[in-house]
Amino acid sequence: MRNLPPLPDTSRARVLVVGDVMLDRYWFGDVSRISPEAPVPVVKVERSEERPGGAANVARNAAALAAHTVLLSVVGQDEPAQALGRLLESEGVVASLQTDPDLATTVKLRVIGRQQQLLRIDFETWPNHESLQATLVEFRSRLPNVDVVVLSDYGKGGLTHVAEMIRLAREANKPVLVDPKGDDYSKYRGATLLTPNRSELRQVVGKWRDDADLAARAQKLRTELALDALLVTRSEEGMTLFRDEGSVHEGTRAREVYDVSGAGDTVIATLAVMLAAGAPMADAMRWANHAAGIVVGKLGTATVTLDEIKIPD
């Protein structure tokens, strides 16, 4: 494969994913007229699909790369939670989902007509303290049996104890990768690696003038947060890894960009699996970039299989 490092044995990788899960629902239909009630298209729904989203999509991406994957999260006592459980089981993820009877499992419903997303409707509430505490207890017990921890923050309240989880993981000498959310990264202090995208990083460090300015701002943030590394995903510009010894850049590998939703999940999942399998961080980034180039050519939250990433690009 062009410019790609050797692929490690991912079947021995053990990944623990914690964070906000959601159910992605898709309604596909035909659009042939405008509503007489309002200037909006009328979609005649012809089929529907359900896929795990959020941290659940990270977990299924790790499992698709043959890693033993455990997912910890909180869901409601409702039909979407049951659907999530079935989907995750079918994709080889060991899902331990704490049930909060007062919580509505997060659902993102997308209406798609003529292969374009026309509308998204979100249903969500925040989990309670008891269910979050139970997740933290289980997190502590799972740590000895994993190689890498992924904390997938979608800002839905599932990672209220993120600072404590990072502390516990580092004390156990487990690398901890974080997909961050919001403009306050202080809660992620001490993590091994953060994976903000371009716009997320801009919220935190401000707008940069050029690559040199980006490097200065990224390294300053990395030092302030005591991170081993900062990986900035930059859409059509590829991704850049910042570490003590400098930076490494990988240009985009996308053949055709169809849908970028969930691409960040694929990136952090691939990173985690490769690191858990023993790959150096720079090599893991190159595999993650390759996987991202494949997944953006698919509709919606999707995975990249081990067979797919073995195909030369």
Question: Distance from CA of residue 219 to its chain's centroid?
Answer: 23
**Exposure letters 82-117 (e unless 16+ CB within 10 A, then b):** ebbbebbeebebebebbebeebbbbbbebbbbeeee
* Residue with token string 């390294």: 219
**Under a CB-based contact definition with an 8 Å cutoff, are residues 149 and 165 in contact?**
yes
pTM: 0.92
CA distances from 116 to 6, 53, 120, 282, 295 (A): 37, 19, 11, 35, 17
Is 102 considered catalytic here?
no
SS3 for 119? strand
Catalytic residue among 259, 265, 283, 313: 265
Handedness of CA 50, 80, 47, 259 (dihedral sign): negative
**Under a CB-based contact definition with an 8 Å cutoff, are residues 110 and 120 in contact?**
yes
Q: What is the pLDDT of residue 230?
A: 96
Q: What is the pLDDT of residue 259?
A: 52
pLDDT in tens, 254-306: 555 545 666 889 999 999 999 999 999 999 999 999 998 888 878 777 888 88
Who contacts 174 (Cβ-Cβ below 8 Å, separation ≥6)?
A: 143, 146, 147, 148, 149
pLDDT in tens, 17-34: 999 999 999 999 999 899
* Residue with token string 């997740």: 135
Q: Calculate Rg over the CA atoms of the chain.
A: 19
Who contacts 273 (Cβ-Cβ below 8 Å, separation ≥6)?
A: 10, 13, 15, 62, 65, 66, 67, 148
Q: How far apart are CA 30 and CA 28, in angstroms?
A: 7
Who contacts 251 (Cβ-Cβ below 8 Å, separation ≥6)?
A: 237, 238
Q: What is the pLDDT of residue 298?
A: 80
CA distances from 60 to 15, 16, 309 (A): 11, 12, 15
Residue type, 161: H
* Average pLDDT for 62-69: 97
Residue type, 10: T
pLDDT in tens, 217-243: 999 999 999 999 999 998 778 899 999
**Under a CB-based contact definition with an 8 Å cutoff, are residues 276 and 287 in contact?**
no
If residue 116 lies in a helix (H) or strand (E), which one and from where to where? strand 116-123
